């Protein structure tokens, strides 16, 4: 997905949010420096994920904190863990557990803070959990996806946020029951609320998949624009029978490229992403794309 004019104020708002989490006195300097990047680099030719990565690298350098979201990430994980019993019952009692696990995974995608269309706090998920599970997806290819998973030998799963990963674990369990090898991709460095291997270990979830791969570099979504980064991972993704891509940032990066088969699981929290997916804003998406999204 390419950068839009709507993306720019959203990015600067997110910068202000993350500075406010730990270094309030750095807010003005962070916004000034990030605005310089907007002036120099903003273009409808650059992918929104690449541009967002440049903005957040700048903000992190000014903040001087390796992981500004660390407390929020832990809170999200604790909230999700407190709902595991309900989540497992929801999947177990469904006529179609794998499809139910996909919907559950999207509910976890709302644990994404500092942007519109997401939850205000982890606690809100507890209050709204059942209602969110009952919401009908705006796009639902889960029947076809279920068949494809059963025929796949290897599924690559691109993780998104902390908290969300707890519900992703239940989805990965259901995928494994269909037979394919599961490869989970997590961030190699902390960025926003995205899950890292360190976060997984803190949850005792390091065995969540058959294999775990860490990304290279500090990037929003998956860095697919630098040919010298994530070289081995890109090869695995091209060879995989199916890729499952969680969240908007991964969609923004992945939709720029052609893949054998990719499933997008997310809440379309903003108008540009919703437009790219041909749905209304705030729709839940279970979308299978073969080739490149049109």
Mean pLDDT of 170-185: 97
Banded model confidence at residue 17, pLDDT cuts 50, 70, 90: very high
pLDDT at 116 over 70: no
pLDDT at 117 over 70: no
Higher pLDDT among residues 260 and 127, named by residue:
260
CATH superfamily, region 70-291:
Uncharacterised protein PF01937, DUF89, domain 3 (3.40.50.10880)
Banded model confidence at residue 115, pLDDT cuts 50, 70, 90: low
Per-residue pLDDT tens digits for 265-287: 999 999 999 999 999 999 999 99
Mean pLDDT of 243-267: 97
Mean pLDDT of 204-232: 95
What's the pTM? Answer: 0.95
pLDDT, residue 83, reads 94
pLDDT at 159 over 70: yes
Q: Where are the domains of the chain?
A: 7-63, 70-291
pLDDT, residue 111, reads 81
pLDDT, residue 144, reads 98
pLDDT, residue 23, reads 84
pLDDT, residue 123, reads 81
Class of domain 7-63: mainly alpha
Asked if the domains 7-63 and 70-291 are classified in one and the same CATH topology, the answer is no
The DSSP string of the chain is -B--TTHHHHHHHHHHHHHHHH-GGGHHHHHHHHHHHHHHH--TTSBHHHHHHHHHHHHHHHHT-S-TTHHHHHHHHHHHHHTHHHHHHHHHTSSSHHHHHHHHHHHHTT---SSTTS-SSHHHHHHHHHHHHHSPPSEE-HHHHHHHHHH-SEEEEE--BTTHHHHHHHHHHHHHHT--EEEEEEBSS--TTB-BHHHHHHTT-TTSSSEEEE--SS-SS---S-TTSSHHHHHHHHH-SEEEEEHHHHHHHHTTS-EEEEEEEEEE-SHHHHHHHTS-TTEEEEEEEEES--
């Amino acid at each position: 997905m390419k950068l839009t004019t709507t993306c720019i104020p959203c990015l600067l708002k997110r910068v202000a949010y993350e500075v406010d989490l730990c270094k309030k006195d750095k807010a003005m300097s962070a916004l000034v420096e990030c605005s310089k990047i907007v002036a120099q680099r903003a273009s409808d030719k650059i992918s929104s994920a690449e541009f967002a990565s440049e903005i957040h690298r700048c903000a992190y350098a000014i903040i001087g904190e390796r992981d500004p979201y660390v407390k929020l990430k832990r809170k999200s994980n604790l909230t999700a863990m407190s709902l595991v019993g309900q989540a497992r019952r929801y999947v177990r009692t469904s006529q179609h557990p794998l499809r139910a696990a996909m919907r559950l995974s999207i509910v976890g995608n709302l644990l994404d803070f500092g942007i519109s269309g997401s939850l205000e706090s982890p606690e809100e998920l507890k209050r709204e959990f059942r209602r969110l599970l009952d919401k009908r997806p705006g796009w639902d290819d889960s029947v076809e996806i279920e068949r494809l998973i059963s025929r796949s030998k290897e599924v690559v799963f691109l993780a998104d946020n902390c908290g969300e990963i707890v519900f992703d674990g239940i989805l990965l369990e259901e995928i494994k029951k269909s037979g394919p090898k599961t490869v989970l991709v997590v961030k190699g460095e902390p960025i926003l609320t995205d899950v890292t291997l360190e976060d997984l270990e803190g949850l005792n979830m390091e065995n969540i998949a058959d294999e775990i791969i860490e990304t290279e570099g500090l990037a929003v979504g998956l860095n697919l624009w630098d040919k010298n980064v994530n070289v081995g991972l890109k090869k695995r993704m091209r060879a995989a029978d199916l890729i499952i891509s969680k969240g908007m940032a991964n969609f923004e990066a992945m939709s720029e490229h052609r893949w054998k088969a990719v499933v997008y699981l997310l809440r379309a929290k903003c108008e540009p992403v919703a437009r790219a997916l041909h749905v209304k804003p705030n729709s839940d998406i279970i979308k299978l794309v073969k080739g490149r999204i049109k």
